[in-house]
Amino acid sequence: MRPRVGIIGNSYLLNDNYPVHAGGTMSSEAIAEVSDCLPLMIPADPRFVSVEELLHNCDGFLLTGGRPNVHPNEYGETETEAHGAFDRARDAITLPLVRACVERGQPFLGICRGFQEVNVAMGGSLYPEIRDLPGRMNHRMPPDGTIEEKFALRHVVSFPKEGVFAQLFGADQVMTNTLHGQGIKEPGHRIVIEGTAPDGTPEAIYVKDAPGFTLAVQWHPEYQAPTDPVSRPLFEAFGAAVHAWATTR
């Protein structure tokens, strides 16, 4: 039996009136085909699941991207129009889930919003719109175009030569896509920022001295993960950590 990876779902309105929990097929593909784990979609809402149940039933977690943002109340700031839409139910699940995984050594991989959740869970804060900051580029997804154009490689991410990510990728620079509006303002307790974009925006982090796999990236490595030379080693390493955790249960 393959180890089980809980994929954090997002709340949407299908056809503008039918509420659903959903996740991208490419996330399931990355977990099943590259990490060699069983992908399980999680309805991230405390009405339906608890953190304790998730920790018991899953071996690892994929903290996915999503259009709604972490609510600024979670990092001590006041909501503004620039902060965009929110998913308070997801906040209520993922933030304590991250902290529990860090303590237990249970592996997770954070992507985009998931990257931001890891920082906030550890006490960090976020900028509501980094393209409005002096000297920053627009990291948002292009509003038009094909899926290939929206997920196209758009900028370099640089890493310290002896760091965790450089060792993982076998390089101190990689090209990535970029589809996010918010970004790290203040890093959380024990958050190590290793990857940065050319404009200084944090792109890759992990939790210092955590007993398990805690890597998170601001880009979307799930896109073409089975064949992409950057995405594949990231999901392979995550899968190895999940398999290792499962053998200890």
* Residues taking part in catalysis: 112, 220, 222
- Gap between the Cα atoms of 238 and 215, Å rounded: 8
Query: Which helix or strand (DSSP H or E) is residue 194 part of?
Result: strand 191-196
Query: Which helix or strand (DSSP H or E) is residue 95 part of?
Result: helix 88-104
42: nearest Cα among 53, 29, 30, 26: 53
Show the CA angle centred on residue 231, arms to residues 90 and 120, nearest 5°. Answer: 30
- Gap between the Cα atoms of 242 and 68, Å rounded: 27
Which residues are CB-contacts of 232 (< 8 A; sequence separation ≥ 6)? Answer: 34, 225, 226
DSSP secondary-structure letter at 214? -
